[in-house]
Amino acid sequence: MASISLSPDEAHVWCAAVDDPFPGELEQRLVRLLSPDEADQRQRFATERLANEYLATRALCRLTLSRYADVAPNGWRFKRNRYGRPEIESPPGIPPLRFNLSNTHGLVACLVTLAVDAGIDVEDMERRHAPLGTATELFSADEAAALASLPADQQRTRFFEYWTLKESYIKARGLGLSLPLQQFTLHLGDAQPIRISFAPGINDSPSEWQFGLYRPSARHVMAVAIKRGARPDLRLEIKAAALAA
């Protein structure tokens, strides 16, 4: 079943558009991919839209991983670390795949690497409100000042760029919100690679990180954070996925 090879110096992002609502036949095919726990979790969402986003995210994860290992999409089993990040538990004997997931209205994404910690975040800028007045609570002092210095018509987009980058870094670290948002800063420059710096209390090395910002559609912004260590930047490919089992 595996059809794609992945080297340690590559990262692949698979993106899929999500219709609202799902066509009924597709929904039933995707539901059959879920584990009992996932199917139960899906029933707990308050709205059909959120339930469908969850279904699309879990299905994309399973379908994507099966591109890299000879495992049926419904054969994957997952566990969570103490902060809630999902990781592969079984089957044994597969490549050391790492993955991270994100979803928003109209889009789901799955990031895959080989033994490299990485995180991804996507946001729908049309649907989500950008609480610019809370930037001092959500961002570092330098980020908030940089945001405030922009022309008003650029602040909304930059807000989402900061937010997705910070989310992708937190998810790559696998520490959840135990990592204070104000204690690290993303530096965005027109002609410079995206950089990160840390307050003294954060135990991390800025030189080990690679970041990217992307626009998978006119309304969506996506950020990726990769802990590449001392190696050169990984080659990142963005691929379109069809939600079909």
Q: What is the pLDDT of residues 123-140, one digit of tens each?
A: 999 876 777 777 888 899
Instruction: Write down the pLDDT at residue 2.
Output: 67
Which domains does the chain possess?
A: 10-240 (3.90.470.20)
Could you tell me if 14 and 241 are in contact, meaning their C-beta atoms sit under 8 angstroms apart? Answer: yes
* Residue 244 pLDDT level (bands cut at 50, 70, 90): low
What percent of the chain is predicted at pLDDT more than 70? Answer: 98
Instruction: Count helices and strands (H / E) in the chain.
Output: 6, 11
What percent of the chain is predicted at pLDDT more than 90? Answer: 78
Instruction: Write down the pLDDT at residue 219.
Output: 94
Going along 40-183, which residue ranges are E strands?
A: 77-80, 86-90, 97-104, 107-114, 118-124
Rounded CA gap, 150 and 153, in Å? Answer: 8
Could you tell me if 77 and 89 are in contact, meaning their C-beta atoms sit under 8 angstroms apart? Answer: yes
Q: Identify which has the larger pLDDT, 243 or 143.
A: 143
Q: CA 144, 145, 147: angle at the middle one, nearest 5?
A: 65
If you ran DSSP here, which 8-state letter would residue 134 be given? Answer: G
Instruction: Write down the pLDDT at residue 25.
Output: 86
CA nearest to 242, candidates 110, 124, 99? 110
* pLDDT tens digits, one per residue of 138-176: 899 999 999 999 999 999 999 999 999 999 999 999 987
Residues sharing a CB contact under 8 Å with residue 15, sequence separation 6 or more, in sequence order: 107, 108, 109, 122, 216, 222, 238, 239, 240, 241
* pLDDT tens digits, one per residue of 74-91: 999 999 888 888 899 999
Q: Which two tokens stand for residue 13?
A: 């992002």
Rounded to a whole number of angstroms, the CA Rg of the chain reads 18
Could you tell me if 90 and 79 are in contact, meaning their C-beta atoms sit under 8 angstroms apart? Answer: no
